[in-house]
């Protein structure tokens, strides 16, 4: 868990609320407790530990405590993992720890966080690892949203390269997840936490107190059920990461570990093309094969996955270089907007081409206009062409979407503060309501079944689930490849799903934040609209918020949505953790009419402020990874509400607290105090 879940390898600061102000406590960081505190480390920081000086505790896991430390001999920062005391008493575990650490240390690859050293000090086993001064993928997504599809695919290619090297050394990671993918500012993704991986020669699964090692939502079926795992288990886990990157949600959701494992073993996730129309059919096939439940039908090597992902990237005409990722990490908003604009022009040009070919290509033309509309819904020409083509299309044949589409780029949140090409999120956001309204309406029928009419629902003592308009997106025709290159079709006898199978709306697509629902609501058709005789409700929130209707959470982190439901009066509430709440107490829904609700939290914002001081040593203040022109001490620094990464930097010094995440609420002032310590070498 090297740097896992913490930007730049630092832990999250602890905050204590005091009225309208927030203050951050400083002092020694408590140890993990009696069962997990390693000997010779204790609660105090800045202690000598063999050839290292402990600087800061950054995490505690089931097997080890993680620190940042200074390697005295070279004067460089490293990440130090020390085994918990109770585990060192198990000679079998210690022997395996040493054997696997030695094997992992033998690996040398630019896409793997390097193990520098391992050994024992004062009867405490440790592993010293490379310190990556960047972000882990999980934290990056939380701060900026999922990267564009093109950038996400480039990242996956590099992770495959690192995995391929590890597998060639007979090392299985067993815990591939976003928190273990580090993003260095140089644009080189690195796989972290190989220190306690498993060698393929081992026949059993290493456990701690009878608990499987790994993170349940990312486990392969064989891992989750305690069977033998090999390299193909890592490929499945990376497939889960890919699905989450591109679809905005995990493929196997659940409210408990048991329900997630059940989903991993028994359920097939919705096609990625249903969740994100920017995912091409080729990319969908790659991810689907990575997620095959039968290891024999999965990709057999990480190198084979990388080869097919590179073929997809070549079809897009995107540079396969670390500089592309580095450029995105430095300026995520600009690069994302540039890629979106490029995709918009490509889809618009194809749409106009297909339109000129007449009715024989009307489905393809509608498809491309829908993609363009998805990226730029405010474009009047695209909307007009789409309406004209739909009017010409014979009834009952093909797509009639257009009111929908999903979230841009990766299917998750766009970067904060981004100027969107898309003014409103569409199908992905609607899908959040599809999942949530099953809760509101009870939704006991099978997924995809017709929604109950108002009278039936009333007889059952509950509202009928609304019919949500969700399109079934079909794949974007890929432009001509720059070279003759085809994807590996998979093991002999394995047939790729047909276009109809891949795009059939078996269940309404849902973003990652949507709550689990007992059943999906009915997809809107002419019959269901007539049966419900309901009205439409269109809601937008800026910035995104949690949507609550009649006291029930429908979806979290949603920017816009549109849905149908029976006539009546509803309480609608938007909740933003940083700006507060907006409530409409009696929203009247009338049959065959549209009700529009919109709220911009920023217009009523009171403003938030930041105070940063150091121990009498002036230092530059950095906010969200970028330097400001402000030096400490600084009081009353204006800051937008939200989650921010704050640190201070001065040549020759290190901040004891490292990077602190501050949750800044509207109208509040956050007080931060950093202790700077001079870096001393040998």
Give per-residue pLDDT as tens, 221-246: 999 888 889 999 999 999 999 999 99
Contacts of residue 564, Cβ cutoff 8 Å, sequence gap at least 6? 466, 467, 468, 469, 524, 529, 532, 534, 535, 536, 537
Return d(Cα 672, Cα 682) in angstroms, integer.
31
- Residue 353, phi then psi, degrees to nearest 5: -65, -50
Q: Which of 187-191, 353-357, 592-596 has the highest mean pLDDT?
A: 187-191
Return d(Cα 339, Cα 334) in angstroms, integer.
9
Give per-residue pLDDT as tens, 42-76: 344 678 889 999 988 887 766 778 888 999 998 89
Which has the closest alpha carbon to 105: 24, 205, 197? 197
**Whole-number pLDDT of residue 303:** 96
Say what the pTM is: 0.54
Q: What superfamily does domain 31-130 belong to in CATH? A: Phosphorylase Kinase; domain 1 (3.30.200.20)
Give per-residue pLDDT as tens, 112-121: 999 888 889 9
Contacts of residue 482, Cβ cutoff 8 Å, sequence gap at least 6? 314, 315, 317
**DSSP H helices in 204-318:** 221-224, 231-247, 257-266, 272-275, 281-290, 302-316
Please answer whether residues 377 and 112 qualify as being in contact, where contact means their C-beta atoms are separated by less than 8 angstroms: no
Give per-residue pLDDT as tens, 343-368: 898 889 888 988 888 888 888 898 88
- Residue 249, phi then psi, degrees to nearest 5: -155, 160
According to CATH, the topology of domain 135-316 is: Transferase(Phosphotransferase); domain 1 (1.10.510)
Q: Where are the domains of the chain?
A: 31-130, 135-316, 332-392, 427-470+505-604
**Stretch (H or E) spanning 64:** strand 64-71
* Equal fold, 31-130 vs 135-316: no
- Residue 265, phi then psi, degrees to nearest 5: -80, -30
The three-class DSSP label of residue 21 is strand
Return d(Cα 508, Cα 270) in angstroms, integer.
8
Please name the residue that has the structure tokens 């490929």: 235
Tokens standing for residue 463 = 């509202």
667-676 in b/e form (b: 16+ CB < 10 A) is ebbbbbbbeb
Give yes or no for residue 164 having a pLDDT over 90. yes
The DSSP-derived string for 611-632 is EEEESS---EEEETTEEEEEES
Give per-residue pLDDT as tens, 425-434: 333 333 333 3
DSSP lists the bridge partners of residue 649 as 620
Please answer whether residues 190 and 113 qualify as being in contact, where contact means their C-beta atoms are separated by less than 8 angstroms: yes
Give yes or no for residue 6 having a pLDDT over 60. no
**Whole-number pLDDT of residue 304:** 96
Please count the other Cβ atoms lying within 10 Å of the Cβ belonging to residue 474.
Answer: 23
Percent of residues, the chain, with pLDDT higher than 70 = 66
**Stretch (H or E) spanning 597:** strand 594-600
């Amino acid at each position: 868990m090297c740097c896992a879940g913490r930007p730049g390898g630092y832990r999250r600061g602890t905050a204590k609320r005091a009225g309208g102000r927030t203050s951050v406590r400083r002092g020694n960081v408590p140890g993990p407790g009696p069962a997990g505190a390693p000997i010779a480390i204790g609660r105090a920081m800045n202690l000598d530990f063999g050839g290292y000086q402990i600087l800061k505790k950054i995490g505690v896991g089931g097997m080890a405590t993680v620190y940042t430390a200074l390697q005295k001999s070279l004067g460089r920062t490293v990440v130090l993992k020390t085994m918990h005391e109770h585990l060192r008493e198990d000679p079998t575990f210690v022997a395996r720890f040493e054997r696997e650490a030695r094997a992992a240390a033998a690996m040398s690859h630019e896409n793997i966080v390097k193990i520098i050293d391992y050994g024992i000090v004062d009867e405490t086993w440790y592993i010293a690892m490379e310190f990556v001064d960047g972000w882990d993928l999980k934290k990056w997504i939380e701060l900026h949203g999922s990267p564009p599809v093109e950038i996400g695919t480039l990242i996956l290619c590099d992770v495959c390269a690192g995995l391929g090297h590890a597998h060639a050394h007979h090392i299985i990671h067993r815990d591939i997840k976003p928190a273990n993918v580090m993003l260095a500012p140089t644009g080189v993704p690195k796989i972290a936490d190989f220190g306690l991986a498993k060698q393929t020669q081992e026949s059993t699964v290493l456990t701690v107190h009878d608990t499987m090692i790994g993170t349940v939502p990312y486990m392969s079926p064989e891992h989750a059920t305690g069977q033998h795992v090999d390299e193909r288990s890592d490929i499945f886990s990376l497939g889960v990461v890919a699905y989450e990157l591109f679809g905005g949600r995990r493929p196997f959701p659940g409210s408990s570990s048991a329900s997630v494992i059940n989903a991993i073993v028994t359920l097939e996730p919705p096609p990625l093309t249903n969740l994100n129309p920017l995912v091409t059919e080729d990319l969908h096939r790659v991810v689907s094969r990575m997620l095959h439940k039968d290891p024999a039908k999965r990709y057999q090597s990480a190198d084979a996955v990388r080869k097919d992902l590179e073929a997809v990237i070549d079809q897009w005409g995107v540079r396969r270089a670390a500089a592309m990722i580095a450029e995105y990490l430095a300026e995520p908003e600009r690069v994302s907007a540039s890629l979106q604009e490029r995709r918009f022009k490509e889809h618009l040009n194809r749409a106009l081409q297909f339109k000129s070919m007449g009715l024989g290509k009307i489905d393809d033309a509608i498809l491309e206009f829908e993609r363009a509309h998805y990226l730029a819904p405010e474009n009047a020409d695209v909307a007009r062409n789409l309406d004209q083509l739909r009017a010409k299309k014979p009834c009952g044949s093909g797509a009639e979407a257009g009111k929908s589409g999903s979230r841009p780029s990766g299917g998750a949140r766009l970067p904060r503060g981004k100027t969107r090409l898309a003014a409103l999120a569409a199908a992905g956001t609607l899908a959040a309501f599809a999942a949530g309204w099953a809760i509101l309406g009870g939704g006991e029928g099978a997924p995809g079944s017709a929604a109950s009419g108002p009278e039936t629902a009333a007889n059952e003592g509950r509202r009928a689930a609304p019919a949500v308009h969700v399109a079934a997106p079909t794949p974007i025709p890929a432009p001509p490849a720059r070279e003759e290159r085809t994807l590996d079709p998979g093991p002999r006898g394995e047939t790729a799903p047909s276009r109809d199978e891949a795009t059939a709306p078996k269940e309404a697509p849902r973003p990652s934040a949507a709550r689990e629902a007992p059943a999906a609501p009915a997809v809107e058709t002419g019959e269901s609209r007539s049966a419900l005789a309901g009205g439409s409700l269109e809601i937008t929130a800026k910035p995104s918020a949690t949507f609550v209707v009649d006291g029930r959470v429908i979806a979290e982190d949603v920017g816009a949505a549109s849905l149908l439901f029976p006539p009546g009066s509803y309480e609608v509430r938007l909740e933003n953790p940083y700006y507060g709440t907006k409530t409409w107490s009696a929203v009247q829904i009338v049959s065959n009419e549209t009700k529009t609700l919109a709220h911009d939290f920023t217009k009523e914002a009171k403003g938030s402020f930041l105070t940063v001081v150091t121990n009498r040593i002036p230092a530059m203040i950095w906010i969200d990874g970028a330097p400001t022109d402000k030096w400490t001490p600084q009081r009353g620094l204006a800051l937008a509400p939200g989650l921010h990464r704050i640190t201070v930097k001065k040549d020759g010094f290190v901040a004891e607290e490292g990077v602190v995440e501050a949750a800044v609420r509207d109208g509040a002032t956050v007080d931060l105090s950093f202790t700077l310590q001079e870096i001393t070498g040998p």
